[in-house]
Chain A
Amino acid sequence: MMNNRRVCAILLTLALACSLPFAALAETRLDKVLSSGKLTVATSPDFAPSEFIDPTKTGQEAIVGREMLLARYIAAELGVELVIESMDFSAVQGAVAQAKVDLGISGFSPTPERAESMELSDSYTFEEVEHEQGFLVLKADIDKYAALEDFAGKKIAAQNGSLQQTLVTTQTPDAKIELITSLNDAVMMLITGKVDALATAVTVGEEFAANYPDIQIANTYFDYRSPGNVVMATKGEVELIAKVNEIIAKAVEEGKMEQWVEEIAELTESLAINSEE
């Protein structure tokens, strides 16, 4: 009896696993997008101003942000309809790798690991800043951190699979890394003293600091020059990525990037709870 049960369980698992590689192989993804008239993009909309949900809207148009404007631009240039699928940050990478979606746009930085398992587009930046990546710390501790070495032995939170995770492990190797799924959770962990610092993009960290007077961006930053963000596609879909590269170049040339930054800044301003309605 016990043996039979085990065999059944194994067979079921195998059957499900075998259904995996059935994704279309014959035509390229670009052909499929054009013929179906639909471009699906996965994103993790919890990362304003790049991608977030406008609480005053519903459905597809509620998913907004600089990168979502880029996504809409790409779809418009391809002449197809855009379908955005929201999911967890790490699920986005899975969705792209699994070819469940056509593209992944979720504030991805180009890394060698990603380039190995996925097709990456040319990188793009929305605005140049001097200090790109840093730490959020408690205001009371702000003087403790004058250099990266001061983080030795401290607990630093970083989003799983993110650029910050790499930065923490390489530049503050003596610190203890605490992996988290969402930046929001990490802010709470910081305020409640569960971690000593949170590795984050400085622009994002400043937004949090504006809401919570107890936390602040530390005066120490990671040594990092941004290679920008990239659009990701499933490994092997070079035609699709080539087309995306073309469109990104066009957007940059037309000065769309600056325009989108402004547009989203106005939107976030109007949504803040402290703003006038």
Chain B
Amino acid sequence: MSVVIQNTGKVLQRYGYLFLDGVKYTLLLSVITVFFGSILGSLLCMARKARIMPLRWIATAYVELIRGTPVLLQLYFFYFLLPEVLPFLDDKFLCISIALVFNSAAYVSEIIRAGIQAVDRGQTEAARSLGMGGGQTMLRIILPQAVKNILPALCNEFVMVIKETSLASTFFIGDLMTQYRVISGALYLVIEPLLVAGAIYFILTFTLSKCIAALERRLKAGD
């Protein structure tokens, strides 16, 4: 065990900057995923509530398909096939980002749907009986209340995505887990870089979880 501790120190000393690099990529990838995933997810959610039936079907099929297959499989799929279908998308980082965004969107759309559904039905009825239209009810009455449910769940999705991005290391994308692969592959060290990467992941997600808990308390204070 003492060898491992010694080696960890040496790895940090000589190659610590690699992990900082990894953190940058992991966070960048996560931010991109959650940001665009939220936009796409909102659109999906709208599509699922649309009056046009085919739109509804497509959106529902999409969500089911994405949620019913593993992320790693989707990454492979996008990495290999996206540049075939759309040749201008021949960039590794882009392909993987798109895959993660498409994956996250399905989950975000469910989060938003659940958030809206959690708002009491009486609120809609009250708004409609006051003479508000469907759109106005949604925008002025339902959404402001739904946001309270959605926001913490969205932040949790961010924490999930941080961990999920580690799968992108299959394609040496540059995230934290990739850095582990780089170091272990070049230096024949296994446990040490894993320890460092693990500690960093934990620090990232733990801090974020605490922030989310604080945010939730603030939102609850308004009730």
Contacts and interface: CB of A to CB of B under 8 A. Distances in A.
B182 A55 contact: yes
B155 interface: no
A49 to B, nearest CB: 9
B80 A94 contact: yes
B64 A87 contact: no
B208 interface: no
Q: Which of A12, A55, A85, A210 has the most CB of B within 10 A?
A: A55
Contacts of B76: 91, 94
A47 interface: yes
Nearest to B13: A273
A134 B77 CA distance: 35
A162 to B, nearest CB: 15
Q: Which of A19, A95, A191, A273 has the most CB of B within 10 A?
A: A273
Contacts of B189: 211, 273
A23 B187 CA distance: 38
For chain B, what secondary structure do more than half of its interface residues adopt (helix, strand, loop), or is it mixed? helix
B170 A5 contact: no
A20 B81 contact: yes
A191 B83 contact: no
A212 interface: yes
Nearest to B185: A46
Q: Which of B10, B15, B191, B194 has the most CB of A within 10 A?
A: B191
Interface stretch (A110-118, A170-178, A180-188, A251-259): A180-188
A95 B10 CA distance: 36
B148 interface: no
B84 A87 contact: no
Given A55-B15, A55-B183, A19 B58 contact: no
Interface in A193-219: 204, 207-208, 210-213
Chain B's interface size range is 35 or more
A227 B162 CA distance: 43
Contacts of B85: 16, 19, 22
Contact of B172 (A5, A47, A86): A86
A200 to B, nearest CB: 11
A46 B65 contact: no
A104 interface: no
A140 interface: no
A9 B3 CA distance: 53
Given A53-B182, A55-B183, A273 B190 contact: no
Interface residues of A, number: 47
B11 to A, nearest CB: 6
B185 A47 contact: yes
Q: Which of A47, A95, A184 has the most CB of B within 10 A?
A: A184
Contacts of B80: 94-95, 98, 100
Q: Which of B58, B83, B185 has the most CB of A within 10 A?
A: B185
Contacts of A23: 84
Contacts of A273: 7, 10-11, 14-15, 187, 189
A107 to B, nearest CB: 12
Contacts of A20: 81, 84
Nearest to A51: B185
B181 interface: yes
B92 A85 contact: yes
A52 B172 contact: no
B88 interface: no
A86 B188 contact: no
B57 A211 contact: no
Interface in A218-277: 268, 271-274, 277
A184 B11 CA distance: 16
B60 interface: yes
A8 B183 contact: no
Given A46-B182, A272-B187, A273-B10, 9 more contacts: A52-B186, A53-B186, A55-B186, A95-B80, A184-B184, A187-B188, A211-B188, A213-B3, A273-B11
17 contacts: A5-B64, A9-B64, A12-B65, A52-B185, A53-B185, A53-B186, A55-B187, A87-B170, A91-B79, A91-B171, A94-B80, A100-B83, A184-B190, A191-B191, A268-B186, A271-B186, A273-B189
Question: Can you list the 6 inter-chain pairs with the closest CB atoms, starting with the nearest?
Answer: A46-B185, A8-B61, A86-B172, A273-B10, A184-B184, A52-B186
Interface of A: 4-5, 8-9, 12-13, 16, 19-20, 22-23, 45-48, 52-55, 85-88, 91, 94-95, 98, 100, 182, 184-185, 187-188, 191, 204, 207-208, 210-213, 268, 271-274, 277
